[in-house]
């Protein structure tokens, strides 16, 4: 490792989102050769129990597997942990209590990165919406949060994305985005890591806040990498 710190990524929630996050880190890094990228170890474990089902009481808690995943990364030599899954952060306190490694908080990083938004339309899982995972800190910051009229319809689109039916989900999500814009939203917050897989490459009328941007940026900084020179301007929110 030549003295460099190792980033451990606890992934699989879902696998496509994990790949997307890893690509973001590579894309955001200023590097002219392989050796200038940060060392990363990914534990992609899709068998972690469904977070939404656990929250509503129809499935087992993911906590044990989340802790096991972090411990595997710790045993393998990771120095810092990143979890590119919004809903998993509901158990972050309990996970952190079971490791002496720092686990980066994607929710806090995202909220602190928002400088210009006044009214945000939140697209997220039912767990993230009902728990106030984003809504509570955003409101404390003076940012109004808009929620979809039909949260189950949003969940249907997240399931479509997980099944690989991204085009159909994108079409439906854009309808919700249009409703948010009609209600005065200044930004859209992708509070589920599947959402950017459908909306990220689409030119929206208002900016999309992708929490994985803030997490990827923090990972690069903390692991001693260099951010691309124009990154702050590109991610300005």
Closest C-alpha to 210, from 81, 17, 51: 17
Pairing label, strands 7-11, 80-82: parallel
For residue 41, what is the DSSP state?
Answer: E
Measured on CA atoms in the order 234, 175, 131, 103, is the torsion positive or negative? Answer: negative
Closest C-alpha to 146, from 105, 104, 189, 111: 189
Radius of gyration of the chain (CA): 17
For residue 49, what is the DSSP state?
Answer: P
Q: Is 53 one of the catalytic residues?
A: no
| Interhelix angle 151-162/166-182, nearest 10 degrees | 150
Both tokens of residue 65? 């597997």
Residue with tokens 């300005």: 236
- Catalytic residue, from 53, 58, 192, 219: name it: 192
- Catalytic residue, from 53, 58, 85, 219: name it: 85
**Which residues, 6 or more positions from 233, have their beta carbon under 8 angstroms from its beta carbon?**
none
**Residue 165: helix, strand or coil by DSSP?**
coil
| Residues with active-site annotation | 85, 192
């Amino acid at each position: 490792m030549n003295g460099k710190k190792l980033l451990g990524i606890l992934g699989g929630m879902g696998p496509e989102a994990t790949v997307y996050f890893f690509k973001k880190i590579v894309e955001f890094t200023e590097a002219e050769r392989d050796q200038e990228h940060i060392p990363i170890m990914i534990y992609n474990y899709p068998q972690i129990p469904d977070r939404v089902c656990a929250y509503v009481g129809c499935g087992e808690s993911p906590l044990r597997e989340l802790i096991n995943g972090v411990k595997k990364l710790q045993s393998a030599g990771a120095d810092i942990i990143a979890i590119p899954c919004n809903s998993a952060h509901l158990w972050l306190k309990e996970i952190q209590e079971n490791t002496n490694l720092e686990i980066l908080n994607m929710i806090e990083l995202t909220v602190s990165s928002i400088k210009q938004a006044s009214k945000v339309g939140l697209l997220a899982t039912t767990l993230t919406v009902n728990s106030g995972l984003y809504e509570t800190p955003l409101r404390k910051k003076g940012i109004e949060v808009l929620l979809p009229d039909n949260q189950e319809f949003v969940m249907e689109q997240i399931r479509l994305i997980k099944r690989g039916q991204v085009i159909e989900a994108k079409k439906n999500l854009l309808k919700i985005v249009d409703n948010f814009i009609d209600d005065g939203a200044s930004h859209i917050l992708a509070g589920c890591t599947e959402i950017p897989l459908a909306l990220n490459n689409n030119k929206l009328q208002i900016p999309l806040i992708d929490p994985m941007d803030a997490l990827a940026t923090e990972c690069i900084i903390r692991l001693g990498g260099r951010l691309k020179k124009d990154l702050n301007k590109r991610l300005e929110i």
